[in-house]
A and B are shown apart, each in its own frame.
Chain A
């Protein structure tokens, strides 16, 4: 089963609105990352949050982490058409090199 499960699977919003995506995971983690994938391309790293952090910002991105609920959320503020992509969370646990990716949220921003 997937360690990371994103919710919703698909999201469609108007340009200028905020987009929120959630990620849930099952085991204890060392850190959690969010990646973006434009259609048919490779993934691009967006932001990393460590297990001892609760919130992190990068430009229009805000990530929160709640280790008690084993969940994270990614907020994109003032969305743009160029934000249209799939977004994945990836978790890493202590003592392992592996990142476990979720199934992704497909975001569509309408101009």
Chain B
């Protein structure tokens, strides 16, 4: 059974803190994604990685960075958390190519105070 796990379901941080969100997949997928989900806005792509150490900016990369040192792990980093980064963060993975299924993790609900 395919599996994408995220390090935390709920996270509370303070403004200015450095925040790490971890995502691990066990499907040997090349592609990994980070989205944020906000009410009324749907899912918006933050960053995408198509291979180890490779990354591309999505639609809303400002305030975020990513790291992919191993194929199975994709980390999202908030260098200095701000209140407008309070959101649900969803990680996904997929095989390369078009028309492929994305497999999602359970999500991390981050609150920045």
Seen from chain A, the residues whose Cβ lies within 8 Å of a Cβ on chain B are: 2, 4, 30-31, 33, 35, 40-45, 48, 50, 88, 90, 92, 94, 97-99, 101-104
Contact = CB atoms under 8 A, between A and B. Distances in A.
Given A40-B109, A42-B104, A92 B98 contact: yes
Contacts of B75: none
B110 interface: no
Pick the 8 closest A-B CB pairs, nearest first. Answer: A42-B104, A101-B43, A103-B42, A31-B99, A45-B101, A43-B104, A101-B42, A42-B106
26 contacts: A2-B41, A30-B98, A30-B99, A31-B99, A35-B102, A40-B88, A41-B106, A42-B90, A42-B92, A42-B104, A42-B105, A42-B106, A42-B107, A43-B92, A44-B104, A48-B99, A90-B43, A92-B98, A92-B99, A94-B98, A97-B31, A98-B45, A99-B45, A101-B35, A101-B44, A102-B42
A90 B37 CA distance: 14
Given A88-B43, A102-B42, 5 more contacts: A31-B98, A42-B92, A50-B99, A97-B50, A104-B42
B48 interface: yes
Interface in B62-99: 88, 90, 92, 96, 98-99
A103 B58 CA distance: 17
A48 B67 CA distance: 30
A88 B42 contact: yes
A104 B35 CA distance: 15
Given A41-B106, A42-B107, A43-B90, A33 B101 contact: yes
Contacts of A33: 101
Contacts of B48: 97-98
Contacts of A2: 41-42
Q: Which of A31, A92, A103 has the most CB of B within 10 A?
A: A103
Contacts of B44: 101
